[in-house]
Chains A and B, each alone.
Chain A
Amino acid sequence: MTAAGFLDIVTPGLMTSVQDLGRFGAQALGMPVAGATDPIALRLLNRLVGNPENTAALEIGYLGPGFTVAADSVRVAFGGVAKLTLQPADGSDARGLKPWRSVLLKRGDRLTIGAIEDASVACLAVQGGFAIPLFMGSHSTYMRSGLGGFEGRALRAGDRLPLKLNAAPEGEERELADSIDYGSGPIRVVLGPQDDRFTPKGIETFLSATYTVTKEADRMGLRLDGEVVEHTRGADIASEGLVTGSIQIPGNGKPIILMADRQTTGGYTKIATVISADLPRVGRMKPGDMLSFRAISVAEAEAIRREQEKQVRRLIEGVRTALPDVWLDHNALYTVNLISGAVDAPSGHWK
């Protein structure tokens, strides 16, 4: 048995938590699903480091963590738009890394992930995943109750996150050939389950207004600001089950889209449900982002999801051996003094 390896968290980022594809099977007991906000990114990044798609990874909210490798080696892949800085343990110059490409880090290397520039969340997968216990069948963190994941909470400075593998197998690095298409235009919804509790004007407002994501946007849900949606008779119903993407309209008439950390049941009227194919896009939205809604049928929603899944499968099949790391070459060329710096090799910063 090899000695245990860790990622030593130097800076925790703003909201970094361990997530897999979610905890299903105990919602009848009130246990929320949790899981990755962007399951497509989680699945693809896992494939880049050779993991099963449901392996737990780090979901990063807004600002990435910085960590030092306390293992012989670890292979990681980051997906998102952020500055990635590798400070090698051997004392060589810090360099930038590309997203959507696996990289082998050595003991003592420090990787720092900057602000997430394109979305509220990003993701970092590690080969083999983390050596943390399963809780009720999942590694996902449900922070409100302090359950699952790493000690049931977001990472903190000084945490030692245990790795399954103390050394990553040697092998070629892999990269994604194409980027994910999250879609554009209005967020597609299916009306119901309580669309009969809104006036025709209320439904029309909901489907025509532009809403803004407020600061109250987290893993539990997104509160929206914009035109008030008119009820027929109050906003309360007998509590009933919810799905991720349920759009509640409470008494103030402003929509709330429920996300991964939603409760299992709720007692507010729900005007519509975000289709499953648009959930990653909604989950990636930040305060200040604008959105509108368009209603489609259940059958259309299912067809769109199946089409999206084909796209994900194509991306997975298109994963290819990464081109040699030009930044390493740059370093090597200088070291062996073949070209004496006569050629201006490409910079290590991809952005």
Chain B
Amino acid sequence: MSNYPQIRSFGDTGFSVEFGEGIDRAVNAQVMALHAALGEAKLPGVVETIPSFRALLVQYDPLNASRAELESQVRAMLAGLKASLRTGRLWRLPVCYAPDLAPDLADVAERCKLSPDAVIATHTAGRYFVYMLGFMPGLAYMGGLDASLHLPRRKEPRLKVPQGSVAIAESMTTIYPWESPGGWHLIGRTPLRLFDAGRSEPILLAAGDEVTYAAISADDYAAMLNRVEQGTFDYAALQVKP
């Protein structure tokens, strides 16, 4: 008999439903299914739900619901939960891997015993899954990096990673939505803004989405960056039919 799902206490404003161990698509699919089901159900007192690799955090208002009642409602939902591996949108995001935008590309290639071109080919061949967002607004943890590119994080994190940096660490890839400190390896840059306060939906990616990368030239990068900065870039066009 499986030990999961397990319910864990976050005081009188939350509890989590944990579906399994580690970073696993099937486990995460259950997280996303409960996230979607609770989003639909709009149970009184539920404030919002936060999906992560293997657990869903249910935040509630103790003035409008009780843990006992919500927990039993959630347990009832778990019985009928239908998890699907594909629930989100599919994106094709442009990345420029030119050396001046990819400060760690040569180092990553050397450590993985590959040529820089092979690193790029491997990175663009992947189809990545957004397990969760966190760390900063709009930062997506995308799993599915090819095992030939797995490296631990940098021993010395950078104090300033440029906005739009495309990075890898362990089994994950990400794009920095902001200039920020960061310890991942920077292998390219996108002209896109993963977070743009001026957009009607400021945060581009959501948990459950899938992402592929398309290599672009430095000229294309400059042209797209210009459109992004002018506010004329059509983000919807980046979504592709699965």
Contact = CB atoms under 8 A, between A and B. Distances in A.
Interface of A: 24-32, 135-136, 142, 144-145, 147, 189-194, 238-246, 263-266, 270, 272-276, 298-299, 301-302, 305-306, 309
A146 to B, nearest CB: 9
Contacts of B56: 241
Contacts, number: 145
Contacts of A266: 134
A240 B137 contact: no
Given A28-B206, A309-B63, A243 B10 contact: yes
Given A31-B203, A302-B12, 18 more contacts: A24-B48, A27-B48, A29-B206, A31-B138, A145-B137, A145-B178, A193-B8, A240-B52, A240-B53, A243-B59, A265-B50, A265-B52, A273-B10, A273-B11, A274-B11, A298-B67, A302-B62, A302-B66
A302 B67 contact: yes
A276 B134 contact: no
A274 B11 CA distance: 7
Nearest to B133: A30
Contact of B9 (A26, A31, A136, A190): A190
Contacts of B23: 238
Interface in B179-221: 197, 202-203, 206-207
A265 B9 contact: no
B11 A32 contact: no
Given A28-B51, A305-B62, A245 B135 contact: no
Contacts of B49: 28
Given A30-B203, A31-B203, A264-B134, A240 B197 contact: no
Contact of B11 (A29, A136, A240, A276): A276
Q: Is the interface of A mostly helix, strand, loop or mixed?
A: mixed
B124 to A, nearest CB: 25
B116 interface: no
A207 B241 CA distance: 54
Contacts of A276: 11-13, 62
B9 A299 contact: no
B16 A147 contact: no
Contact of A31 (B55, B137, B141): B137
Interface of B: 8-14, 16, 22-23, 35, 47-57, 59, 62-63, 66-68, 132-139, 141, 178, 197, 202-203, 206-207
Contacts of B137: 26, 29-32, 142, 145, 147
B67 A265 contact: no
B30 to A, nearest CB: 14
A153 to B, nearest CB: 13
Given A28-B207, A29-B206, A299-B66, A135 B197 contact: yes
Given A31-B203, A240-B57, A298 B132 contact: no
Contact of B12 (A194, A239, A240, A305): A305
B9 A147 contact: no
Contact of A29 (B63, B66, B138): B138
Contact of A263 (B10, B54, B135): B135
Contact of A275 (B11, B47, B51): B11
Nearest to A274: B11
B136 A245 contact: no
Contact of A264 (B47, B63, B133): B133
Contacts of B202: 136
Contacts of A24: 47-48
A10 B23 CA distance: 52
Contacts of B47: 24
Nearest to B21: A238
Nearest to A246: B10
Contact of A192 (B10, B35, B132): B10
Contacts of B53: 238-240
Contacts of A32: 137
State the 3 A-B residue pairs at the shortest beta-carbon distance, nearest first: A241-B57, A273-B11, A265-B134
A8 B13 CA distance: 39
Contacts of B11: 189-190, 243, 245-246, 272-276, 298, 301
Contacts of A145: 136-137, 178
Given A31-B137, A299-B66, A301-B62, A238 B52 contact: yes
11 contacts: A25-B48, A27-B59, A28-B35, A147-B197, A189-B11, A192-B9, A238-B54, A239-B52, A241-B50, A241-B57, A265-B135
